[in-house]
Amino acid sequence: MTTDPSHTRHGALTFDTIPETDIPHVRYTSGLFIYDEVFLNGRLISRYWSATGGIRPDMHFRWGKWYTDVAPSLPADAFALSLEGQDLRHGWRWVGAEETPDPSGFRDDGRPVRHAVIRLAHEQCPVDVGVHTRIDGSPFVIRWLDITNRSDRPTAISAVSPWSGLVWMHRAAEHTPSDASGPFEVAYTHHFRWGEEGDLWWEPLPAGTKTIDGGRQGRSGWGRPAFLARNRANGETVWVELGWSGNWRIVLACGKDDRKGEASLTFSIGPDASDQALRVLDPGETVSTPAVHLALFHADLDACVHAAHDHVRHVVMPAQVSGRHQRIEANHRGYICDRETEEGIKREIDIAAAIGAELFVVDAGWYGPEPNTWWNNVGDWHAGRWLPNGLEPVVAYAHERGLLFGLWAEIEAIGQATRLRQEHPDWVLTRDGQPVGSGRVLDLTKPDVVAWMESEIVRLIRQYNLDLFRLDYNTAVGEGGNRVYQGFVENTLWRHCEALYRLFDHARAQCPGIIFENCAGGGGRLDWEVLRRFQITEISDWMRAPRGLKILNGVTFALPPEVCLRTFGTETGEHVLEGDLDFQLRVVLLSHPIFRGISPTIDELNPVYRARIVHAVELYKRFIRPLLPDCQVFHHTGMLPLFEQTPWCVLEYAAADRSRAVIGLFRTADIGNDMYVVRPAGLDRSREYRVTFDTTGETTVCPGFALARHGIRVRLSTMLTSELLLIEVE
């Protein structure tokens, strides 16, 4: 073993053995987050976690006989793996540990990235594991496993958790609030169906085991494979994200020892399937698991959110396309959806240009053999006969009007009416030999299918001179497809995700400068791995108030607002629940705006309505957009359950240099006080600021100290109304 305690700015890796023993030891230091693990009796286990940067002396572990008496009984294994139903948490042999160049492909943005790998070999099963850990000086650490089949026959991964273990175990009774059932709480997206994204709120964790599985949609879901756990006995919060776009499972186990007054919390997180094999490994094959992103904080929730946004912006998601970031979109699916014509689309482009949009997207309905049946036509990615001149004149017209042009495709789908289906009926995804998901999903285990999909994406981008490619995925495939492979019943979701990631990596490499936009029936794929390939993401198809606003509030705990598409428009019904005009506009101003359906024609565009839209668009371009790429988000009203009435939703976006901020105040229910006092959190108390009330245009000048201490009073006596505060240094 070697020791390398060297630091690069705020990241450090230490490889050694515990003094006076031969126990291998690795410590990861990233900012103030320390994760320390040891290899003991055939197990890789966590010794401790720290959010304060302090290294714990080994004597504390020796005095308590931790190595001999305590650790053997702890559920502290750093990962979990089962092959062919056999649990392999124990029985490993230490091969070595070293620092290597980072192979992950995550962005570094100039950060001090360091990468360590621990190599283990199992004593009974012919399998090797590489435990990879990436640090970059930030609170978030990324971990994944490489699993190698070193036998001469196939084997099957039946379960895996790339990162698991014991987070907390300590005295808690004397520190837990008297009104709490226990010290631990968990927040996760509680609903997993279409239109229910962002339903994030805290739930007590009683003693016992809690399992969260995302509703088994065959995708990461309209929920997200992530959780936050809060320790009310010591003020810490652990944030865990699984980068995975298939089915998943989180298991949280809360222990309680009343005699000692102690409590403990363990977790595991990973992909999941009901079939015999998650993934079959051929002889000699190595497969990488999904990555887990984990951070431990001793800070308030706002600080945790700021760190998550920083991680997403600079590590997870691709760099924004220079000169094209945050373009205001208009989408054709408003008044002419499912009856597209060249004349109608050009009319929509004129309306988009008139209100100041910058990018026009033709969505579902432009392709295939049958008019007005977009769901049956997916797969035949050629302009339908209702566009006899093709899309080229539409693209040229958008560019002539000064708009960028984007195009929609559901590239994983194969419609019932398509020539593709007639020519390749064997390309349909199946489960137990029967079509899955209404029989409209392609089987990505087939190399020919993947090659065709990649070539179609690249062809569409080049043929139509696209500036943006919009991906959709509207089918929930449940348990996913399966097949008999190498004698095992293998679930195909793992291979589907691998192929999907790979083909978009290839497409992006072939088409630099193109904006890639993610949509999956709204927010059906909001996991951090699929978002590595996209600059923008739809967060929900639900457009009506107040739920649409609450979805934005919930999703922006994990995703920065500038990448989150929110819609103003007419595509969906129930307009009686839109909120007033300013309420509707201000929701999209606090996200990435997309307009779907502004007016049937430009002559019918109400001039007062148009003027207010144009005011909002110009306000976005002038004031809000410049601060968004590095803004800090403050959720003043916290987590808001979607299906509980709450009186207010208040969001503040503050520039990183504290020079300006925008605060949206929304009255979401006719309950509670109609007055809200907002105390801006992202300003410099030593400076003076001009505050503008957008509704009336009134302004006032206040010291930052007074704004932070006394706040700004806003009264909204009617529900589904709003105010927008624009604050800039005087």
- Is the predicted pLDDT of residue 38 greater than 50, yes or no? yes
Which of helix, strand or coil describes residue 374? Answer: helix
Q: Is residue 77 domain-resident?
A: yes
At 3 the pLDDT is 39
CATH number of the domain residue 141 falls in:
2.70.98.60
- Is the predicted pLDDT of residue 1 greater than 90, yes or no? no
Q: Is residue 242 domain-resident?
A: yes
Task: Give the pLDDT band (50/70/90) at residue 181.
Answer: confident
Q: Which range is least confidently modeled, 161-175, 491-505, 566-580, 674-688?
A: 566-580
Q: Is residue 494 domain-resident?
A: no
Q: Is residue 241 domain-resident?
A: yes
Q: Alpha-carbon distance 331 to 348, whole Å?
A: 8
Q: Is residue 593 domain-resident?
A: no
Average pLDDT, the chain: 95
Q: How many domains does the chain have?
A: 2
CA distances from 603 to 233, 407, 598, 600 (A): 63, 26, 12, 8
Question: What is the tens place of the pLDDT at every residue in 221-233?
Answer: 999 999 999 999 9
CA distances from 154 to 35, 89, 446, 453 (A): 35, 20, 19, 29
Question: What is the tens place of the pLDDT at every residue in 9-29?
Answer: 578 999 999 988 999 999 999
The one-letter code for the residue type at 590 is L
Picking from 379, 405, 410, the residue whose alpha carbon sits closest to that of residue 394 is: 405
At 229 the pLDDT is 98
Question: What is the tens place of the pLDDT at every residue in 89-136?
Answer: 899 999 999 999 999 999 999 999 999 999 999 999 999 999 999 999
Question: Residue 214 is part of which domain span?
Answer: 7-316
Of 316, 333, 362, the last residue of a domain is 316
Question: What is the tens place of the pLDDT at every residue in 583-616?
Answer: 999 999 999 999 999 999 999 999 999 999 999 9
Residues in CB range of 302: below 8 A, 6 or more apart = 632, 633, 634, 635, 681
CATH number of the domain residue 682 falls in:
2.60.40.1180
Q: Is residue 1 domain-resident?
A: no
Q: What is the mean pLDDT of residues 552-578?
A: 93
Of 269, 293, 316, the last residue of a domain is 316
Instruction: Report percent pLDDT > 90 for the chain.
Output: 93
At 9 the pLDDT is 52
pTM, two decimal places:
0.96
Q: Is residue 557 domain-resident?
A: no
Task: Please give the structure tokens belonging to residue 103.
Answer: 């192979």
Q: Alpha-carbon distance 523 to 642, whole Å?
A: 15
Question: Phi first, then psi: what are they for 311, rounded to 5°?
Answer: -65, -45
Q: Alpha-carbon distance 637 to 553, whole Å?
A: 9
Of 316, 336, 358, the last residue of a domain is 316
- Cα four-point dihedral sign 521, 619, 516, 216: negative
- For residue 242, how far is the Cα from the chain centroid? 9
Question: What is the tens place of the pLDDT at every residue in 680-700?
Answer: 999 999 999 999 999 999 999
At 545 the pLDDT is 94
- Is the predicted pLDDT of residue 251 greater than 90, yes or no? yes
Q: Is residue 566 domain-resident?
A: no
Which of helix, strand or coil describes residue 347? Answer: helix
Q: Alpha-carbon distance 119 to 96, whole Å?
A: 5
